[in-house]
Amino acid sequence: MLSAERRTLILQKLAATGSVQVSYLAAELQVDPVTIRRDLHRLESAGYLRRVHGGAILRDSAGASPPPSGLAQRIAAAAARLIPAGSVVFLGPGNFTAEIIPSLGNEKQLTIITNALDVAWRAARTQQHTLYLVGGEVGKDYGIYGQLEQQFNLLVDWVIIEAAGLSAESGLTHDHLRYANLARTLLRQSAKTIVLLPPDRVGQVSALHSAPAEQVDLLITGREASNAPLWDLSEAGVRIVLT
């Protein structure tokens, strides 16, 4: 491998995840840690990143977003494992979905459609996927709730969204009207639907309903989720992945 190539890979990894570790890169790229350190030193001199003990972080991440929680990484990693290379996926807004991008690794190439600015930014910086973004007003949660149907012919293999609640009786529910509308539009298509949910929201019901539980193909949540609602969902035909 060319040294310049290696430095490009380091920058891509950094762009995708926000930070890199010397030890991880050394193992991944099969070079001595001291070589990685020299690379990082060089890239810092060129202004591409900021060197910190143990690795490097993005140059402009002064007051950046907090590091992802372990839960988000676990759920996102589980989702990433399920998606085959080459799929067309829709990613909704949220911390869990955004964390999927760095979980995908360097090889798996997808076509990603999203209405979340943070997801789009992470995906774009990897230069690895084909990326489509919904237009419209950008909200404080980085979600963009535009006229989806006008902009794309939605023929996606997987729809991956978060929700405020999922129960067998009340189905998929949300806190915000625009999010509920988005979910309803997306699930009308015949794609496979994956819902990412914090474990404490399994079986819960929120204000705005979008779809019955039967339309959810797969629920990914934490293993702390209580069993009774999971059982009911499973009865309703929802596959469950605990992580």
Distance CA 208, CA 240 (A): 23
Whether the Cβ atoms of residue 93 and residue 70 lie closer than 8 Å to each other? no
Distance CA 218, CA 233 (A): 10
Binders of a copy of itself among 1-60, rule CB under 8 A?
2-5, 7-12, 14-15, 18-19, 21, 46-48, 52-55, 57, 59
Distance CA 61, CA 149 (A): 35
* H/E segment holding residue 189: none
For residue 53, state whether it binds DNA (rule: CB under 7 A). yes
- Cβ-based nearer residue to DNA, 57 or 138: 57
Contacts of 157 (CB under 8 A, 6+ apart): 87, 88, 89, 191, 192
How far from the centroid of its chain's Cα atoms is residue 33's Cα? 30
For residue 22, state whether it binds DNA (rule: CB under 7 A). yes
Q: Which partner, a copy of itself, DNA, none, binds residue 32 by CB below 5 to 8 Å per kind?
A: DNA
| Interior/surface letters 127-144, b for 16+ CB within 10 angstroms, e for the rest | ebbebebbeeeebeebbb
Counting every residue, how long is the chain? 243
Out of 37, 38, 125, 209, the residue judged to bind a copy of itself by CB under 8 A: 125
For residue 27, state whether it binds DNA (rule: CB under 7 A). no
- Cβ-based nearer residue to DNA, 29 or 240: 29
Q: How many of the other CB atoms lie within 10 Å of CB of 3? A: 12
For residue 63, state whether it binds a copy of itself (rule: CB under 8 A). yes
For residue 149, state whether it binds a copy of itself (rule: CB under 8 A). no
Q: Which partner, DNA, a copy of itself, none, binds residue 47 by CB below 5 to 8 Å per kind?
A: a copy of itself
Interface ranges with a copy of itself (CB under 8 A): 2-5, 7-12, 14-15, 18-19, 21, 46-48, 52-55, 57, 59, 61-64, 66-68, 117-118, 120-121, 123-125, 127, 130-138, 140, 142, 144, 146, 150-152
Interface ranges with DNA (CB under 7 A): 3, 6, 21-23, 30-35, 37-39, 41, 51-55
